[in-house]
Structure 1
Amino acid sequence: MWTKLHLARASWTLIDQGIVSAGTFVINVILARWLSQPDYGTFALVFSGIFTLQLFTNSLLFHPLQVRLVITRPEDQARLLSASLILLTILSLGLGAVLFVSLFWIGRSDLLLPAMICFLLGQIQEALRRGLHATFRHRAAVLGDSISVGGRTLLILGLALADALTLEDALISMAAASGIAALVQAFQLDLRRRGPFRLGTTLAEYWSLGGLWSLGNALLSSLRLQIPLWALAIGAGSAAAASFQAAMNVANLCNPIIVGLANIIPQTAAQARVKGNAHAWRATRVYVVLTILPLALYSGAVLVAPELSLRLLYGAQSEYLGLTEAVRLLVIAGLAATLTEVVIAFLHGIGEVPSALAINAIGTVATLVLAVVLIADLGLTGSCLALIGGSAARLVAAHYVLTQATAELGRYGRAEPGRGHST
């Protein structure tokens, strides 16, 4: 049964993620309207690259931080956060070199400096944001995230209205907003140095919480979603791929709920697993129950009236209004994916990252096989069915792993206090 504390935590994590997701959506619309098509295409490539690079920081630093910080003594939390920021800066400089080379390769050397600054400051602000999330301070995170999202939106909109918006200015605006937000959130976290940083110890501890398993899991999760799109583009052409993405955009409006759950489940499970995995799951599923209503309301509305959703998003004369079947199928796939993402976030919290990777591997292979079989004959519908099949395979695998992990005497044995499972 949930309490006022559960309700408050669930509400603020959804509010915070809603602000971030809404701001990202608005910025994309502004840039699509005001930038030239080549510049907007470059922006899409840059941020696709940044998203891919962030898989490394998410897996190797952010997820371990969420799991460890919540069970770290309050007097040691500032040290752990400071050490994490130093490690993040080192990792981000290395990843930024990939971005640097990529921009040089596509002939946009004018974007090298603003893109690097945007990436680095964005990663630092994300780390501080995760630090607040890790200790359930989602309400406090709203201030900095509002500054970040609101600041970049206002700056970019102002430049657009003044007819002075360039891609370089957009990146600088985003970097500036992230930097100001990072200062605010660093103040909220009180990051004064307390004791030695112990970078080696922190790095080893983070690596033990997932390392390559966590990174592989993230890469497989991203690949699973890319397979239908690229298979459709190869088998049916770019126009079909555009239709798939347009339908997916409608289904993806549930993403704030999914990401919001991922921002609260790992630390909840990590904190509660001292009494065993079954207790950790009971503590975790409370937040799932609290988010069922908004998820069901949106999904139900789209399933009943998909054409209205397409009309509201793309306009009354859009060529995408005929995608009602694809939207319905992708919403169904999204519902199955949401339930699986809850289990995967839980497995991260209890230290069972290899099991999470196995779930995503099964889903990726199923999606690939179905895409090869279905897309040639069914086109767009086949790509949607492939994603449904992959999501269903993941869901079955997730149910099996969860049952074993939380069983009193299951495959993992009885959980010992302070550990995810006995060995």
Structure 2
Amino acid sequence: MNGAWTAIAGRAAWPRAWRLARYRRPGWALADQCVVSACNFLTIYLFARTMSTPAFGAFMIAHTGLMLLTSMQGALIVQPHNVLAAPLEGASYRRFTAALGVAQVLFTAALCAALAAAAAIVWALGATGAGVVMLALAAAAFPWLAQEFVRRVLYTHGETRAAFANDALTYGLQLAGALAAVIWLGGGADARAAFVVLGASSLAGAAAGLWQLRGHLQWNGGWLRALIAWKEAWDFGKWLSAQNLLAWMGTHGHAWVVGIMLGAEQVGLYRAATHLTNVINPVRQAAFNYLPSRGSKVRHSDGQAGLSRWMRRTFWFLLLAPLPVALPLMLFPGPILSLAYGDRYSGPELALILALATLAQLVTFVKFTFDLGLLALRGTKSIFYVHLIPVALLFTTGIGLVYAFGIVGVPLSGLLIGVAVLAATAVAYRRLAKAQEAG
């Protein structure tokens, strides 16, 4: 009798344990992103307060380049792993992960070598300052991208606690390094010092990540299996990489437009003000890291109907979750800027920029619901076509708004782009879902 009750209790305990695990994983994902976002936020904030405005502007222009490299790696390697490897188990998963790990090393080495060569050319042409910044970026990019690969691979099978541990090490060292740099260098801190901090801390995280991934890797299929995995990842990611390039141009290309039209100092002013919108990042990036593989699994197990139900729940989460942070930024931007920077970055113009940029962030956040649907349906080609819109708007109305309104034109352009892309992504998802149901 006791054995029967034990068996019944055991069967009842499994669903409860499974449900608890489902909630713990998003909890660790949120904690992880809180660490990443808080440390990144404070790192950039320390540099914004300490560097001269032109030096900070130059750093942020180069930093957008680092974000582009991260985005390209995400499209070609990381997101294919998050989606394609999510249903895999055992040796199949380990071989696929090892193949993409080799691809990541080769991809990153090629990017950094090309960037270093470009830095040498710029230096030889007489732009010594720009060449030094580009060389520092090339040196920091390799460990940065390696650590990003590690943390995102851990997310594929929901190992969010391990990702949290790696990021706590990496970004804790980053914040400590930034604090040491601004104390030691003061107003003399520049982009070179900033990239030394980013690169050194990422190197520590990447080294720890190699140990964490020891059970994820199995290289016994040879180069033929690797080539098959690379082709599968390329077929998935080629349109996504083009889309990410277009999205980067639509989202971060404004910094380059402002730099060319108005100078690095204006970039520094704009990025210092809008940096405060990054307090939304913990929820946003936790969703970006955790949800793509979850959507893929829902589509795989429950079909289109299950994916649609999951997306409805996700839409309301993505709409409501950032509001407690976003509303104060939109309603009280002036006092918040004064509290953060004192008189250095204040005034009605920068307050308006902060409010508009926050609203644009919310629109982009909600749009991610339909990105998730397209990714789960493997509609990366549709995502690419949608993101032709930001580039077209940036180089037409975006430039016009910057010309007419100065740096206030940047968040106006960002808001216009966000609304247009939200509408287009929703339409693209619905059309693809209907086509797959009919087919």
- What TM-score does the superposition give when structure 1 sets the normalisation length? 0.84
Q: Match for residue 145 of structure 2?
A: 123
Q: Which runs of 5+ in 2 are unaligned?
A: 1-18
The answer to whether structure 1 residue 394 and structure 2 residue 394 are counterparts is: no
The answer to whether structure 1 residue 249 and structure 2 residue 253 are counterparts is: no
Please tell me the root mean square deviation across aligned C-alpha atoms, in Å: 3.2
2:307 aligned to 280, 295, 310, which one?
A: 280
Q: 1:325 corresponds to which letter in structure 2?
A: L
User: Could you list the per-position Cα deviations for residues 177-214 of structure 1 after superposition, in whole angstroms to 9, with x for gaps in the alignment?
Assistant: 32332233333332453532522011111011131x11
- Shift in Å at residue 130 of structure 1? 0.8
What is the alpha-carbon distance in structure 2 between the residues aligned to residue 85 and residue 238 of structure 1?
A: 37
- Shift in Å at residue 99 of structure 1? 1.8
Give the share of equivalent positions with the same residue, in percent.
21
SS at match of 1:209: helix
- Shift in Å at residue 375 of structure 1? 4.4
What is the alpha-carbon distance in structure 2 between the residues aligned to residue 248 and residue 385 of structure 1?
A: 13
2:73 aligned to 22, 33, 57, which one?
A: 57
Q: Match for residue 437 of structure 2?
A: 413
- Shift in Å at residue 293 of structure 1? 3.9
The answer to whether structure 1 residue 207 and structure 2 residue 225 are counterparts is: no
The answer to whether structure 1 residue 267 and structure 2 residue 293 are counterparts is: yes
1:95 aligned to 111, 120, 123, which one?
A: 111
Q: Match for residue 182 of structure 1?
A: 206
Q: Match for residue 193 of structure 1?
A: 218
User: Could you list the per-position Cα deviations for residues 242-277 of structure 1 after superposition, in whole angstroms to 9, with x for gaps in the alignment?
Assistant: 554344323343233222211122211211212323
1:222 aligned to 248, 251, 256, which one?
A: 248
What is the alpha-carbon distance in structure 2 between the residues aligned to residue 94 and residue 369 of structure 1?
A: 33
Q: Which runs of 5+ in 1 are unaligned?
A: 415-421
1:312 aligned to 335, 339, 352, which one?
A: 339
Q: Is the 8 A contact 2:37 2:278 kept in 1?
A: no
Change (3 A) 1:49 1:101: farther
1:360 aligned to 380, 387, 410, which one?
A: 387
Moved more, 78-87 or 21-30: 21-30
Q: Match for residue 87 of structure 2?
A: 71
SS at match of 1:152: helix
- What TM-score does the superposition give when structure 2 sets the normalisation length? 0.81
Q: 2:341 corresponds to which letter in structure 1?
A: Y
Alignment of 1:132-211 (within 5 A): 132-158=154-180, 160-161=182-183, 171-189=195-213, 190-193=215-218, 195-197=220-222, 198-211=225-238
What is the alpha-carbon distance in structure 2 between the residues aligned to residue 61 and residue 193 of structure 1?
A: 17
What is the alpha-carbon distance in structure 1 between the residues aligned to residue 55 and residue 352 of structure 2?
A: 33
Q: Is the 8 A contact 1:6 1:287 kept in 2?
A: no
Change (3 A) 1:314 1:39: closer
Q: 1:187 corresponds to which letter in structure 2?
A: W
Moved more, 258-267 or 370-379: 370-379
What is the alpha-carbon distance in structure 1 between the residues aligned to residue 330 and residue 56 of structure 2?
A: 31
- Shift in Å at residue 84 of structure 1? 1.3
Q: Is the 8 A contact 1:70 1:270 kept in 2?
A: yes
What is the alpha-carbon distance in structure 2 between the residues aligned to residue 163 and residue 116 of structure 1?
A: 22
Q: May I ask how many residue pairs the two structures share in their alignment? A: 409
- Shift in Å at residue 66 of structure 1? 0.8
User: Could you list the per-position Cα deviations for residues 402-422 of structure 1 after superposition, in whole angstroms to 9, with x for gaps in the alignment?
Assistant: 22233xxx23334xxxxxxx4
Q: Structure 1 or 2: larger helix share?
A: 2
Q: Is the 8 A contact 1:243 1:320 kept in 2?
A: no
